[in-house]
């Protein structure tokens, strides 16, 4: 079980690191928000699932699973609200030059 927990933790680290690189690399607010919203949600969820597997069946792992469910609900909603507020306040999406 510890090997499975380590695999989940490494996968979570990978997705979180890719999201951080995407935030640094992408050109505008919307693409950066997309990278951070998707990558962080999956990365944090995988990391917490790995911690729950490592802990075994206990009250702590149950709490971790509730946190995972909350993150899967809250992060996409927060990302959508931020993108909608930016769009309504006039932040223009990035386009390629010449289009």
pLDDT digits (tens, 9 = 90+) for 50-89: 999 999 999 999 999 999 999 999 999 999 999 999 999 9
Query: Where does residue 30 fall: left (phi above 0), alpha (psi -120 to 50 degrees), or beta otherwise?
Result: alpha
Tell me the pTM. Answer: 0.85
For residue 58, the enclosing domain spans 2-88
The answer to the question of residue 83 being in a domain is yes
The answer to the question of residue 94 being in a domain is no
DSSP 46: H
Do 50 and 5 contact (CB within 8 A), yes or no?
Answer: yes
The answer to the question of residue 98 being in a domain is no
pLDDT at 99 over 70: no
* pLDDT tens digits for range 15-26: 999 999 999 999
* pLDDT the model gives residue 68: 96
The answer to the question of residue 78 being in a domain is yes
Q: How many domains does the chain have?
A: 1
């Amino acid at each position: 079980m510890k090997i499975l927990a380590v695999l989940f933790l490494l996968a979570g680290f990978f997705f979180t690191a890719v999201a951080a690189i995407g935030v640094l690399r992408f050109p505008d607010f919307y693409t950066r928000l997309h990278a951070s919203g998707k990558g962080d949600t999956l990365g944090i969820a995988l990391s917490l699932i790995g911690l729950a597997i490592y802990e075994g069946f206990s009250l702590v792992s149950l709490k971790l699973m509730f946190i995972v469910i909350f993150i899967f609900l809250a992060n996409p909603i927060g990302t959508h609200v931020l993108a909608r507020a930016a769009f309504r306040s006039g932040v223009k999406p990035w386009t390629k030059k010449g289009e």
